[in-house]
Structure 1
Amino acid sequence: MTDNNNLVFPKLETDRLILKEMLIEDAASIFHIFADEEIMKDYGRFPMKSIEEAESLIAMFDENSKNGKGIRWGILLKEENKIIGTCGYHNWNKRHSRAEIGYELSKDAWRKGYIKEAVKAIIDYGYEIMDLNRIEAVVYPENEASIRSLINHGFMKEGLLEEYAFFRNVYQDLIMFSLLKKNWLKK
């Protein structure tokens, strides 16, 4: 088994973004994003109420990375040197070569193509470095922007998962999307 504590966190770069390890110093930016009700309604959590919650989330992302359960990058806007969101993988099942993708952006970064850039970079990383065969995404049926983004990246809708998750004290329906490596290679 690999000792993930000695691995260097991968830094990815696109034209406008740097995908980097989140540090405690990034807690204020993370709090700004995760304290927003409009963003959190699609994330499956209630909005954060304190900076300590942001620090705990960063620590959880770090722990998951070290334990090989996933990897979560902070999305840094190069021109402003500011974290505008996060993206990455969770529920990484190495035996079956699959992981679930997730992402969110601060509202002031919406509709500027940043998620398109970030998601392409992490899909490439998932197939080339993590050796994934399948990337999954589960999305609220009403989250039209995320659904469009996934379809634009080649994800296929697999179906509705009724009452699939217990988020925000309610059983929620989610739509399952997937992108298989063989289909990614055709792009």
Structure 2
Amino acid sequence: MTDRNGLDFPIIETDRLILKEIKVEDAMSIFSIFSNEEIMKYYGQFPMNSLGEAENLIEIFNDNFRSGRGIRWSIFLREENRQIGTCGYHNWNKRHSRAEIGYELSIDAWGKGYIKEALKVIINYGYEFMNLNRIEAVVYPENEASIKCLMNLGFKQEGLLEEYAFFREVYQNLIMFSLLKNNIK
């Protein structure tokens, strides 16, 4: 896939992971992740009910790339060639050189350091290729694993955003984290 600036979708590899474009063929994997209540309780939406919803989400991710509003990678385990989640940027504000990072993993991949490994490389990508100065993350206060991961990567907690978002029919408190380019670990 090529974005509006003529750039091909970047593939990023780590020791254990391959981050690549999310394709319609990944819809079943996306659906299995996004239909799980345990995963979605911190995502800000209700679990998916149909494969069509997964296909629509893939199109949203891809449209964000084509239009220059963000980028979302599919996370594959290198040895198994199996998708275990997604990660990337949304709410990309080019004028202010900032974007929000987001991610999720299938439950069987939790606690193995995969998200930290993926985020390290996309953080570098954001600073090097997207010209970001600030990377933001908003996290539910109850999402202890995500908070720990972000802090281990050098993100700073900026504060509680009271009733910041209307997710799942309720106003939700979220914690704002940021990582500035000159504060990279």
TM-score interval, normalised by the smaller of the two chains? over 0.9
Aligned to 1:176: 176
1:41 aligns with 2:53: no
| SS across alignment from 1:117 | helix
- Equivalent residue letter for 1:104: E
Write the distance in 2 (CA, Å) between the matches of 1:152 and 1:124: 15
Unaligned runs of 5+ in 1: none
Write the distance in 1 (CA, Å) between the matches of 2:19 and 2:58: 14
| SS across alignment from 1:73 | strand
- Equivalent residue letter for 1:61: F
Q: How far does residue 4 in structure 1 lie from its aligned partner after superposition? A: 1.6
- Show CA shifts across 1:108-146 (max 9, x none): 000111001000010000011111000000000000000
Which aligned pairs between 1:21-32 and structure 2 lie closer than 5 A? 21-32=21-32
The count of residues paired between Structure 1 and Structure 2 equals 183
- Show CA shifts across 1:77-110 (max 9, x none): 1111111000000000000000000000000000
- Show CA shifts across 1:135-165 (max 9, x none): 0000000000000000000000000000000
- Equivalent residue letter for 1:164: Y
| SS across alignment from 1:6 | coil
- Equivalent residue letter for 2:113: G
- Equivalent residue letter for 2:107: K
- Show CA shifts across 1:30-72 (max 9, x none): 0010000000000001000011100000000000011111000
Aligned to 1:125: 125
TM-score normalised by structure 2 residue count: 0.97
Which aligned pairs between 1:1-187 and structure 2 lie closer than 5 A? 4=4, 6-184=6-184, 187=185
Question: Cα RMSD between the aligned structures?
Answer: 0.9
Instruction: Provide the identity percentage.
Output: 74
Unaligned runs of 5+ in 2: none
Write the distance in 1 (CA, Å) between the matches of 2:158 and 2:126: 20
Write the distance in 2 (CA, Å) between the matches of 1:4 and 1:125: 18
